[in-house]
Structure 1
């Protein structure tokens, strides 16, 4: 699936992503800094039924949320991760194989720990400020 959108269309984009048939619960996000990975994840988390304020887990590596149905949603920002060993030591693989939603920014920091069966969202920004999103499920 490919979608071109403006930031004012983020709610509809998140709805389209979550409506993807058989969408995998582990999703990696690929984009340059400032293109909107965190903003999109915040909207996905909200649409999944999380009522708490969500933010980037830049300093803690992972934020955990609960949906209104009690399901866990994990948001990872691996940008500051120094090694895969550091991620493994924190038990990151347990999150990834939990069966819960895992939204992962900067997954290239842990290439050997990401489950083979995952979805990928790539976002690029056009010269006129629109975003082009490609979902591979």
Structure 2
């Protein structure tokens, strides 16, 4: 699935992604500032998270609950020094929990990512729109 959208269309795009039934392990690729965190926040809202969401840049993971009691984990591994740090925080328990796992900077834990996952790549376009590709 490939979609070009403006920020005022982000809610509709998140609904399309959820309707596509991607794997619950979702890797987010894109340059710094491409809109990965913004899109993850919208996905959380679309899934029914009512709590405030934020980037887990320093905590590495934030946990949210949806209105129908699903759990969503949002990871940001940008500041991770090595995969051992992820193992020390129990990343395997999260990744194999069956819950939603939204992962930014997954390349920093490439050897730990389950084989079955989906990937969303987001690119900021010169006109301010975003190009999103779901694999």
Q: Deviations over 1:54-113 (max 9, x none)?
A: 000011000000111111100001111110001011100110111000000000000001
Structure 1 gap ranges (5+): none
Match of 2:3 in 1: 3
Distance 2:15 2:103 in 1: 18
* Partner SS, residue 11 of structure 2: helix
Distance 2:88 2:29 in 1: 24
Is 1:56 the counterpart of 2:48? The answer is no
Say how many residue pairs are matched. Answer: 135
| TM-score of the aligned structures, taking structure 2 as reference length | 0.98
Match of 2:113 in 1: 114
Distance 1:126 1:95 in 2: 33
Structure 2 gap ranges (5+): none
1:1-137 paired onto structure 2 within 5 Å:
1-20=1-20, 22-136=21-135
* Partner SS, residue 65 of structure 1: strand
Larger helix proportion of the pair: 2
Q: CA deviation at 1:12?
A: 0.4
Q: CA deviation at 1:130?
A: 1.2
| TM-score of the aligned structures, taking structure 1 as reference length | 0.96
Distance 2:68 2:119 in 1: 25
